[in-house]
A and B are shown apart, each in its own frame.
Chain A
Amino acid sequence: MTDRQKTAVFTQAAETDKPNGPGAAAILAAGIGSAIFGLVTLASEVSGAIGRLLNFYDPVGPLSGKTTVGIIAWLIVWFVLARLWQKETVNMTSVNIAALMLLGVGFLLTFPPVWELFGG
């Protein structure tokens, strides 16, 4: 059988084979993780105390803490959502909208002029 012959065929059965929950969990977790990273970044920039708290490694400064906290939070959220939605089929439109809005928040809060709006 050639590769072309092995090509997958769209069927309704295949559609129901794999629930969209694990994929949706990964997409939403990426959005939430981005937003958390943005929020931690904003908090560090507007508060000297939080900035010092996030200084996990002196040569890198607060960036070390922001990225560590952001990545760990993203992975935890992903793990929890993946467990919850392991066998679920969820509303993908809502997940996409929420994830992209949260990603937008992440982008916005990493933009330095936005920090100034909050006194950063």
Chain B
Amino acid sequence: MEITTHDLLTVLHGMGFGALFMLAFSGAIVELYRLSAPGLPSAMSVREQSMLNFYLIAMVVLAWLTVFSGAYVIYPWYRAVPPAGITDLADYPRRLLLSSGKTSQWHNLGMEWKEHAAWLAPIAITMVAYVTMKYGRSIINHRKMRVGVLAFTVAAFVATGIAGAFGAFLSKYAPVRGGEVIILMGGGK
């Protein structure tokens, strides 16, 4: 069983950071909605507030790790320019997608939208974490602020969804390959 360094880091970017960040939205949205919903018991204990703060800080770290690893580690491999005369474009995902009318829109729409929309998520979730921590339990007294915070949380989720969905499809049609081979496990036949 083998994996290349490019494969491994792509998985770390997509699954280790991105998917974990996306999964965390379910908890964040529920908790922030609970704070915002009229008629629900919304007051938080000190422990609950600390947990929410820790949770949101973890989301902020994951969000920034996702976009920076995507842009500065994976993207250069994706957009690598093949040497002149090369016919096998398997190691050059962008060029591979653009080489056929059947796949070019995966780059022109999918990758182009993904690589830009993704950056809206860390901006939004950083604000959400800051406001939630700044106001602590007293945020329950600022109903309209909570609405704004919740709206930006949903927007961050949408941006992450766009990036994640296209990332999954792009990995299907033009995976980032190459790098050193790491042997994970020896096998029989």
Contacts and interface: CB of A to CB of B under 8 A. Distances in A.
B117 interface: yes
B141 A95 contact: no
Contacts, number: 126
B145 A23 contact: yes
B148 A34 contact: no
B72 A60 contact: yes
B137 A8 contact: yes
Contacts of A15: 141-142
A113 interface: yes
Interface in B136-165: 137-142, 144-145, 147-149, 151-152, 155, 158-159
A96 B45 contact: no
B88 to A, nearest CB: 22
B159 A100 contact: no
Of A26, A100, A103, most buried by chain B (CB within 10 Å of CB) is A26
Contact of A103 (B134, B137, B155): B155
Contacts of B131: 23, 26-27
B127 A9 contact: no
A120 B113 CA distance: 14
A107 B119 contact: no
B159 to A, nearest CB: 7
Nearest to A41: B116
A106 interface: yes
Contacts of A119: none
A23 B141 contact: no
Interface string B51-76: 00000000000000001000110011
10 closest residue pairs by CB, A with B: A59-B76, A3-B45, A92-B144, A110-B116, A8-B137, A30-B127, A96-B148, A15-B141, A112-B112, A7-B43
Given A70-B123, A100-B148, A100-B155, 19 more contacts: A3-B46, A7-B45, A8-B138, A14-B138, A20-B142, A23-B135, A23-B145, A23-B149, A26-B131, A27-B127, A63-B75, A63-B115, A71-B123, A92-B144, A106-B120, A107-B155, A107-B159, A110-B120, A112-B109
Interface of B: 43-48, 67, 71-72, 75-76, 79, 108-109, 112-113, 115-117, 119-120, 123-124, 126-127, 130-131, 134-135, 137-142, 144-145, 147-149, 151-152, 155, 158-159
